[in-house]
Structure 1
């Protein structure tokens, strides 16, 4: 499913996802009395509900080509802010947040540091230069008997900078701030997680973030937009913090560790734990399942726990508890075993042991059976005095 169909277009949907990710990011930046709005006046807006200080309207743009002087990204956004239905007076800052890098020769490299008159002069100059280039091309096209059409971007620039718009355009561009090279949506969650969710245990970070994203998405006022207040967001953060910090961490299952190839199976059949299952004449599939459990546990130990010193003590403690439990249950089963039914009752002991409820390991609340059973097989493999075969005490 890596090949994109010719009629498939992920960009619009991706842009919406980016918009919500930025909204989550801005929610973390809220102060008391702030609200974040989505699709109310534009992409993302930040309002102070008690006064009109530091209100921002943010247009989120995903482009992959450089932001040049005549790029439609800038001019279309400026045109939207010029729309009579948009009340720019509500905002102290109008932000273009784009994934683009600013072109090397573009005036936008110094835009945020220019004063108002300089910004206005630079925009007028862009229109003059763009019109000059068009006139030159127009002459070439006429000589070649080609139809002449003024570029859409140039028409837009000229409409925005009409003489009767001067007061309004100056009021608007005085508030315009450009943030370029913004993090793209594939890396934005990781960036937010690393900065804002440091207090959440590592294995729960993604789930905590997804919960916050879901919370923001659910805050829609139907067909009006999305509104997330400071108090609501802070309360959600507290709830998520409590849930994901106090709950046990999810066990780090790596699905590929569950896969056992033929070579591993044949090799492990000569291991002590597999031979001890053969002693009780259990089915071939039971031995293969045991090998799979054993391999999963060994790989998990090597990958996830052995390099984490804080976990080594827990691993040893878990093994010790399982060892004591196994010995105890083996003694009880042996005492109750009929010598004439040793093999059959040993098989029952095996099945009951590996299907028994799993005691949790360390802070994990979902310790998988495959890991627990693999630990038992490893203990039997390493201990010459541990067997599945029962030792009847009566005749």
Structure 2
């Protein structure tokens, strides 16, 4: 009876672990991407990565089924590896330095092929070691070297990976900084519940970037700290502001021939500078919190620029002006305990990002 209970417990932990790895990957999704659970494997991100998760104790040794069964699944003719850049075995197990798998991630595809052949041949030599499992391993070689090399070049072993507790801790530290301390776990559990319930609404168990972002925002607002209301935006607007054509972000607006928005853009940029000066001086926000918000907007800009650049008409200038409108008219996100940031300040950040030359950002979607 105890063994049955332990086996069930281990199986359940493996499933929960899969959900936590999926949650961790959801935070890395980019605009337009989708994540699937149990469709092509344990966790799959469209056009990016296919992950097999293993929550196990002990070592991932040369003959461990977690390695060979995963490899066999990826070698199966029904599995299409072409859409993925990486095929990852994500396991809590460590790899012993004496194992032939120890230098796997540093090896070329050809070296990886030699490793699996060496392991198979080693256990072929001793008649006592020829088991049904080894016969299954030998079948992998029947696919031929060319086929194997195309798969093996993508295979990565993420060993000694963080367990459930460590993943939860990392997500809280990175993504729940602004949630009340007593509600951080509720925030994570709410997201895990969203991931589990996603299969109820979609037979594919599919999670999109937009749906996940919406859920994060909803839970963050629900569990957030007491919100400090930002003063009326007029308190940040400088008097008698006149835009300067020499500013780099203004030149980038000139590049898309959008004269009508220059004055407003410069006003928003100036609002941001005043906001930073006033609020940092009063210690209402912390630099680290603002940096996270700032860098998130940079990521959003790059992602949306990339997406819009894929759908161009014959008029790049008009397309770029529409992209400008799409970015500056979108709903702002929350900053720490300030709640939703005024659109003028949020847009000021976008202009500030474009004003920094090394960022290499621009409104124009394609150089003519």
Give me the TM-score of the superposition, normalised by structure 1. 0.54
- The equivalent position to 1:90 in structure 2, one of 83, 104, 111, is 83
Cα distance between partner residues in 2 of 1:224 and 1:85: 20
- The equivalent position to 1:185 in structure 2, one of 164, 167, 173, is 164
Larger Rg: 1
Aligned match of 2:29: 30
Measure how far apart 1:36 and its partner are.
Answer: 1.0
Measure how far apart 1:157 and its partner are.
Answer: 1.6
Instruction: Note the alpha carbon deviations across 1:209-247, whole angstroms, 9 max, x for none.
Output: 111111111111568431111111111111111111156
Cα distance between partner residues in 1 of 2:42 and 2:9: 18
Aligned match of 1:14: 13
| Aligned-partner SS, 1:18 | helix
Pairs within 5 Å for 1:193-272: 193-220=172-199, 224-246=203-225
Measure how far apart 1:167 and its partner are.
Answer: 2.0
Pairs within 5 Å for 1:278-357: none
Cα distance between partner residues in 2 of 1:65 and 1:243: 40
Aligned match of 1:5: 2
1:71/1:153 contact within 8 Å kept: no
Cα distance between partner residues in 1 of 2:179 and 2:50: 31
| Aligned-partner SS, 2:35 | strand
Aligned match of 2:139: 159
Q: Quickly say closer, same or farther: Cα 1:109–1:90, change in 2 above 3 A.
A: same
Cα distance between partner residues in 1 of 2:123 and 2:151: 22
Cα distance between partner residues in 2 of 1:112 and 1:24: 24
Instruction: Note the alpha carbon deviations across 1:107-133, whole angstroms, 9 max, x for none.
Output: 22211111111111121111111212x
| Aligned-partner SS, 1:29 | coil
Cα distance between partner residues in 2 of 1:155 and 1:192: 42
- The equivalent position to 2:100 in structure 1, one of 101, 107, 130, is 107
2:178/2:225 contact within 8 Å kept: no
Within the alignment, does 1:131 sit opposite 2:124 as a pair?
yes
| Aligned-partner SS, 1:65 | coil
Measure how far apart 1:204 and its partner are.
Answer: 1.1
Cα distance between partner residues in 1 of 2:221 and 2:202: 32
Cα distance between partner residues in 1 of 2:200 and 2:100: 40
RMSD over equivalenced CA pairs, Å = 2.1
Cα distance between partner residues in 1 of 2:109 and 2:184: 44
Aligned match of 1:176: 155
Cα distance between partner residues in 1 of 2:39 and 2:14: 16
Measure how far apart 1:165 and its partner are.
Answer: 2.8
| Aligned-partner SS, 1:213 | helix
Instruction: Note the alpha carbon deviations across 1:328-373, whole angstroms, 9 max, x for none.
Output: xxxxxxxxxxxxxxxxxxxxxxxxxxxxxxxxxxx9xxxxxxxxxx
| Aligned-partner SS, 1:96 | strand
2:101/2:115 contact within 8 Å kept: no
| Aligned-partner SS, 2:2 | coil
Give me the TM-score of the superposition, normalised by structure 2. 0.58
Aligned match of 2:284: none
Gaps of 5+ in 2: 228-336, 338-368
Aligned match of 1:46: 45
1:98/1:182 contact within 8 Å kept: yes
Pairs within 5 Å for 1:59-98: 59-98=52-91
Measure how far apart 1:151 and its partner are.
Answer: 1.8
Gaps of 5+ in 1: 139-149, 249-362, 364-395
2:34/2:45 contact within 8 Å kept: yes
| Aligned-partner SS, 1:88 | coil
Aligned match of 1:333: none
